[in-house]
Chains A and B, each alone.
Chain A
Amino acid sequence: MLNFETTVQDSKSYGDLTLSEMEPILKINLRSNKREFSTKIGKLLSIIPPIEANTSSSNEDYSILWLSPDEWLIYSSNKISYEKQNLLEENLFKNISNINQGSVTNVTDHWVMINLKGSKIYDLLSKSSPYDFKNFKMKKGSVAQTLLNHTDVILHNLDDNNLNLFVRRSFSEDLWLWINDSARFL
């Protein structure tokens, strides 16, 4: 049973830095190493899963993030009702999982998405991440899976000084408190 109750449900701003949890957002994990998989996804969502590491592909409705050579994360660009989420998941499941082209897993309740905006977001992240953000912030659409305050996160660069951060639901409250605490001292 999916649990959509998130622990954050908040929005905060510190100077020009704004932090807010975005929900309800659809998140689906895809795994496949089959050749026809990319064309199938292309037909269903009108985006091709990226092959190049640390990149993403997006259209108006969805983004697909590269997680590993055979794993991707789809998420919706806008808030989307649970009924619509179920329809899309069923559609993907029918066209991919059911015919052994890969696996489709709804991870909406697994990840919490926090949007970070502002000129100091990389100062904030660099406080407790071993990742070098130099190339990441230059390239729109880049994706990084790394650690932030000892917690696994996925980062998606949307635009200059605007990114989405995915954190596991059980760690989200802790990370949210840490982000808020650190943001006060920027």
Chain B
Amino acid sequence: MFIINCPYCGERDQTEFSSGGEAHIVRPKQPTELSDDEWAEFLFMRKNIKGIQFERWNHSHGCRKWFNVVRDTSNDKIHAVYKMGEKPPINK
């Protein structure tokens, strides 16, 4: 259990949020030109780091907005929270 500082509503309990997986994955511009392996890489393959991870979260039981979180997966410490479309405040 941890507290997430929603960029719109403020500090709320983790149970109000749902995780949306890894952030900053860019959709390929020409999907039809990709091989099956490259497409699968984009679609399914996600990092599973022990340490600092960039994630998308949704405040599903609050304002229902998406935003990004920089979280240390080893101790659940949140290093930064920033809105969608903004640059990460910590170097990726």
Contact string, A134-153, partner B, CB cutoff 8 A, digits 1/0?
Answer: 00000000000111000010
Q: Is the CB of B63 within 8 A of A130?
A: no
Q: Is the CB of B12 within 8 A of A131?
A: yes
Contact string, A42-80, partner B, CB cutoff 8 A, digits 1/0?
Answer: 000000000001100000000000011101000000000
Q: How far is the CB of B60 from chain A (nearest CB, A)?
A: 9
Q: Which residues of A (103-149) have their CB < 8 Å from a CB of B? A: 130-132, 145-147
Contact string, B1-45, partner A, CB cutoff 8 A, digits 1/0?
Answer: 000000011111101100000000000000000000000000000
Chain A contact patch, size range: 10 to 19
User: Which residues on A sit within 8 Å (CB–CB) of B65?
Assistant: 68-69
Nearest neighbor of A143 in chain B, beta-carbon distance: B9
Q: Is the CB of A146 within 8 A of B64?
A: no
Nearest neighbor of A154 in chain B, beta-carbon distance: B62
Which A residues form the contact surface with B (CB < 8 A)?
53-54, 67-69, 71, 130-132, 145-147, 152
5 nearest CB pairs, A to B: A130-B13, A68-B63, A145-B62, A130-B15, A147-B61
